[in-house]
Structure 1
Amino acid sequence: MNTPNRTMSADLVGALDQPDYLDRPMTPGQVTARFDRLPMTATMWKTLTLVALGGFFELYDVYFAGYIAPGLFHSGILTATTPTFFAMNGLAGFLASLFVGLFIGTIAFGGLADRFGRRRVFAASMLWYCVATVVIAFQDTALGLNIWRLICGIGVGVQYVTIDSYVSELTPRRARGMAFGLVYGVAQICAPLIALLAWVLVPIAPLGFEGWRWVILIGSTGALFVWYLQLRLPESPRWLVQKGRIDEAKRVMHVIESKVRAEYGKALPPPEESPEVEEQSGTLRELFGPTYRSRTLMLVVVNFFQTIGYYGFVSWIPTLLIAKGIMVTRSLEYTFLIVLLYPIAPFIVMLVADRFERKWQLVWSAISVAVIGVVFSLLKTPGWLIAVGIVQTLVVNWLSTIVHTYQAELFPTRIRAGGVGFVYSWSRLSSIFVGFFIAFFLREFGVPGVFVFISGAMAIVVVAVALFGPRTTGLALDDIAR
């Protein structure tokens, strides 16, 4: 008789010790509050690193075009410039084909993660990338390259949108800036890696297979391994609650909180009380309703023009150096040295992203891209080109990291992936034409003309954000969504 009494007593004590917030209905607001009070332990950083590895290979796909360009020129498949503006046998056409795919992926399929879940769409887009890049590596014509580059871009576009939604929903509010800094810092490691691979492999043909093809295949092989690792990622509890899958959301939260509590070494602080925001099924029409119209239009402008500064430099570094009279082998060597510190910028952002208002970080990073780019265009000495080129890669990546962080904060869970996909698609749309414009300005006005064009685009970004951008740093997602 004593044993049952002891058991009942233990159950009663356990019930009395149970935090009262666990008895409340699981809602999006409660999920946010429970995440916002979590310390950033190893479990949190490991989860973000797995997401970042997906971003690594998506950026790998974006970057390799510029770095293998000398090999494509040497093979006769592509040319640096073309007699007509929209010729498809030039580097600009090859770059544009990817961005057409990215535009389709973000605007037409960006909302898939809102419908089917962050985890499932994340894994599917990674497999899509693996298959498409293998096919690209075996193409021998400009048409074949461009078609499969477009197909690959569709999957990459979906991946980008899903990453931003995923990270914002799996991170406490005080650490969102650090989280995006980590994710894009890890992802940017691909830049010096590709530059090194291109420097070593593009001038040669191991086993009779052209070096630029090896650069592409190495990326697809690594991505397959990362896809396997990403199967361990949890689904977003906020998304699960939004879809009415309460029991699954509770299980995911329990697993995360249990691991964090064990690593933290003491009881977790209770969630802060906050007004509950009712989240129902949403549609993209909300983007142009009174609540989100101004921020949607602001982000459309930012995405359209910031891409000119980013890809106008990143994708054209070797070609811009060649235009300055530097031979192909040296241009690849200098490119490697310039992008060697590529991942540093997002990690630097980790130190400041949650200390200063993100709106103004975006403004100052855009101004820096414009000023430093003009300085780069006026230099001819190799040492100074490398030094200023390194600084430029730091600021363009500062700009990119803040844009990704900022746009993922401005929409509610019900339309976050679709909203990010819509505004981000405008960066993909402008990217389609960036290469053609850069080629035009390079041909007609030289490298200085390219950077005057970039500076004009950055000025538009500065005005849009300064006048219409809301503040987000340190605020809960539900508060920002109001």
Structure 2
Amino acid sequence: MTDSVDRNGGRVGNIPARLERLPIGRYHWTLVILVAFIYMYESLDLGITGTVSTVLGQFPGHTALLIAFFGVAVTVGIVIGMAFSGRLADRYGKRRIVLYGLLVLLGMSGIIAIIPANFPLLIALRVIQGIGAGAVYAFPYSYLAEFIPKSRRGYFIGFIDLFFVFGYFLAPLISLYAIPFLPASLSWRVVFAIGFVPIVLYPLYYKYIPESPRWLERNGHYEKANRIVSGIEDKIRKQYGKDLPAPVITEDLVEVEGTKPGIRDLFQKKYLRYSIPLWIYTSAMLSGFYISTIYAPTIFEAFGFTAFYALLFTMIMNGLMLFPKMGVMFTADRVGRKKLGILLMSLAGVFAILLYAVHSSLLLVVILVFAVFWAVNANSPLWRMFASETYPTTARQTGVYFNEMVSRLWSGVIFTLIIGYDIVSTSLIGSAKIHAIYFSYLLIALISIVGAMSVYLLKETANKQLEKIEYEIEQGK
């Protein structure tokens, strides 16, 4: 154990070491649940995009291009929000940025619910809402990674990712009762109004979400970090009724804590060797995710199902996604991130190729649409683990947000807009639209295979303390 002292009078590495040796307690679970619900708000909002798209054809002045732009509007906003939120979070703290972002994300749903039925205005407001979403999108997993001990980090990042499923399940469930049975002029407003309801929980986030102690210590605010960690320790000690184990401060932890990598370091070879394959992996996963999520109801309708059954299938597909993600949650810390990522992206590629090549049975088509969706989306917690664990504490948000920004710009805007235009186009009907859908899955297959190959180049981060990973990357290991 080392007794090095930093300029604030606190022992270097003291805060991370104290957090790492804590047993999981009620405090951790409270924090995890609060953060997990942020994911549910985000996925509910994105899921609304797909379900509302089914009635936008009745909007005054609609065109296929405007509907396609609506499909990517919130993602455009997310990319804009991510462009500056990561850097601001590294400079001013994660807590402040996420609180502002939540206000915009949730508040805009209420505003959209009461606006006039005007397509350009709707698209503009969705972009603004996306900026708020961009500020909070990468927060949950990168934030929790700094609180949870290394042996359970994958489990809890996987756990909060399950709440994405709840949001995507709720979106078609809400729409299932609103869209088929209410006038088109009212149904989309009801859906957005329900998306506004979670704002009543905002005071809980303001009160119970602390700043990251790791970030505070590395940025010279040791006393604030110490107060937060001491409070957590008191709660854990009281819950278990015994003293906590002594923190272990290793030499590599001391060496890392004495440095402060910034944005320039992220674009040097030592980090780029992992960032580039991470960008490719995340982009590949999100390409299949966006097409499957945003246009699922439209795809099912193209195969001849009514709006009711299209929404029902989408709801079932999203709900059953819970089980593949639970599999990742329970195995990521045991098996490792890389093996799972390669397996799941390869499966997504195989299922998508089968969907393109074998479509003699409508039942088989539906099963393969489900299978592609599940295999692609099971990667969601994995790339979040890689992103939150690969980058250094002082530049973690910049690295994480840049990864999301680059990936979503390609997959959620460019790829989705190009492919989505043909899927929603009213000029393509019958077999022409079916062919466009099959072709989109061929592209998803090719991209998924490339994604699987990129995972092989990533650094395995399972069961390693964040500072240990940072030390190894800095040393070129």
Instruction: Tell me the distance in 1 between the aligned counterparts of 2:353 and 2:11.
Output: 50
The Cα shift of 1:229 comes to 1.7
Question: Structure 2 counterpart of 1:312, which letter?
Answer: I
Q: 2:428 matched to 1:449?
A: no
**Post-superposition shift, 1:250?**
0.6
1:410 aligns with 2:390: yes
Alignment correspondent of 1:96: 72
Check whether the contact 1:113–1:121 (CA below 8 A) recurs between aligned residues: yes
Q: How does 1:49-64 map to 2 (within 5 A)?
A: 49-64=33-48
Q: Give the Å deviation of 1:322.
A: 1.3
Pairing partner for 1:358 from 337, 341, 361: 337
User: Which residue number corresponds to residue 14 of structure 2?
Assistant: 30
Alpha-carbon distance in structure 2 between the residues aligned to 1:71 and 1:324: 17
Q: Is the 8 A contact 1:187 1:343 kept in 2?
A: no
1:263 maps to which residue? 239
| CA shift in 2, pair 1:289/1:435, >3 Å | closer
Specify the structure having the higher radius of gyration (Cα). Answer: 1
**1:273 to partner: Cα distance:** 3.4
Change (3 A) 1:292 1:23: closer
What is the SS of the residue equivalent to 2:335?
A: coil
Give the CA deviation at 1:464.
1.8
The 5 Å alignment of 1:270-309 reads 270-275=246-251, 276=254, 277-309=256-288
Quote the Cα distance in structure 2 between the aligned partners of 1:28 and 1:100.
Answer: 41
Deviation at 1:289, TM superposition (A): 1.5
The answer on whether the counterparts of 1:337 and 1:386 sit within 8 Å (CA) in structure 2 is no
The aligned residue for residue 404 of structure 2 is: 424
Instruction: Determine the structure 2 residue equivalent to 1:130.
Output: 106
**1:477 matched residue in structure 2:** 466
Name structure 2 gaps, 5 residues minimum.
472-477
**Structure 1 gaps, min length 5:** 1-18
> Equivalents in 2 of 1:391, 1:239: separation in Å?
40
CA contact (8 A) 1:27 1:241 kept: no
For residue 40 of structure 1, the aligned residue among 13, 16, 24 is 24
Q: SS of the residue aligned with 1:210?
A: helix
1:398 equivalent to 2:387? Answer: no
Cα deviation for residue 379 of structure 1 reads 4.7
Report the Cα offset of residue 281 of structure 1: 4.4
Q: Is the 8 A contact 1:28 1:238 kept in 2?
A: no
Shift of 1:255: 0.9
| TM-score (structure 2 length as normaliser) | 0.88
Secondary structure of the 2:55 match is helix
Any conservation in 2 of the 1:303–1:427 contact (CA below 8 Å)?
yes
Aligned to 1:237: 213
Equivalent of 2:327, from 330, 348, 370? 348
Q: Deviations over 1:352-372 (max 9, x none)?
A: 111111122222221122222
For residue 393 of structure 1, report the CA deviation from its aligned partner.
3.6
Q: CA deviation at 1:380?
A: 6.9
**Match of residue 177 from structure 2:** 200
Paired-residue identity, %: 26
Q: What do the CA deviations read for 1:379-416 (whole angstroms, capped 9, x no partner)? A: 57565555444444432321111111111110101000
Q: Does 1:464 align with 2:454?
A: yes
Residue type of the partner of 1:359? K
Describe the superposition over 1:143-184 as per-residue Cα deviations: whole angstroms up to 9, x where unpaired: 111111111111111101222321111111111111111111
Q: Decide which of 319, 337, 355 is 2:316's aligned counterpart.
A: 337
Give the 5 Å matches for 1:99-178. 99-137=75-113, 138-178=115-155
The count of corresponding residues between Structure 1 and Structure 2 is 453
How many angstroms apart in 2 are the aligned matches of 1:213 and 1:240? Answer: 42
Distance 2:42 2:218 in 1: 28
Structure 1 position 214, deviation (Å):
1.0
**RMSD across aligned C-alpha pairs, in angstroms?**
2.5
